[in-house]
């Protein structure tokens, strides 16, 4: 999708929340889930469509650490580092991803991001590739996943 297509998609999502209680937070979460990030144009569009001020919108976007502002890569890998995932090796998975994808000399178009709980604790540790979650991520499963990403 182009940047303009992302803006159109964001506006469509914002329109669905007009007049609803808690509209801003829910719309932003919906946009993040759909696009994998929050385009900066959403600040202007949410203000216009949902009637919020820019400081209110920026306040929500910066208060919640799960929001990913701006697009840095075409593909995203989110690693949950909360509770059960942390206890089951999420930090090691993060280290492996950073070494293999960022430090391995292999050109990639992935951004690796720290994420908060997606509520999949029974499948810890979990990793999402472009918003598709993979559970019980052992080192072996992670290395197989990385191979598919590089092919």
CB 101 within 8 A of CB 108: yes
Cα–Cα distance measured from residue 46 to residue 17, given in angstroms and rounded to the nearest whole number: 10
CB 28 within 8 A of CB 61: yes
User: Quick one: pLDDT at residue 106?
Assistant: 53
User: Quick one: pLDDT at residue 104?
Assistant: 62
User: Token pair of 140, please?
Assistant: 């072996």
CB 139 within 8 A of CB 106: no
Mean pLDDT by 10 residues, the chain (151 residues): 91 97 94 90 96 95 87 86 93 91 68 86 94 93 88 70
Q: From residue 61, how far is each of 52, 101, 127 by CA, in Å?
A: 13, 28, 22
Supply the pTM of this predicted model: 0.64
């Amino acid at each position: 999708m182009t940047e303009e297509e992302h803006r159109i998609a964001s506006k469509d999502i914002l329109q669905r929340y007009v007049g609803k209680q808690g509209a801003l937070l829910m719309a932003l979460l919906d946009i993040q889930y759909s696009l994998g990030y929050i385009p900066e144009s959403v600040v202007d569009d949410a203000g216009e469509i949902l009637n919020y001020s820019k400081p209110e919108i920026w306040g929500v976007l910066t208060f919640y650490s799960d929001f990913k502002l701006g697009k840095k890569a075409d593909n995203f890998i989110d690693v949950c580092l909360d509770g059960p995932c942390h206890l089951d090796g999420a930090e090691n998975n993060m280290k492996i991803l950073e070494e293999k994808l960022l430090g391995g000399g292999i050109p990639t178009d992935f951004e690796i991001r720290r994420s908060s709980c997606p509520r999949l604790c029974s499948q810890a540790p979990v990793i999402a590739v472009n918003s598709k979650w993979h559970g019980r991520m052992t080192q072996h499963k992670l290395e197989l996943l990385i191979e598919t990403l590089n092919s």
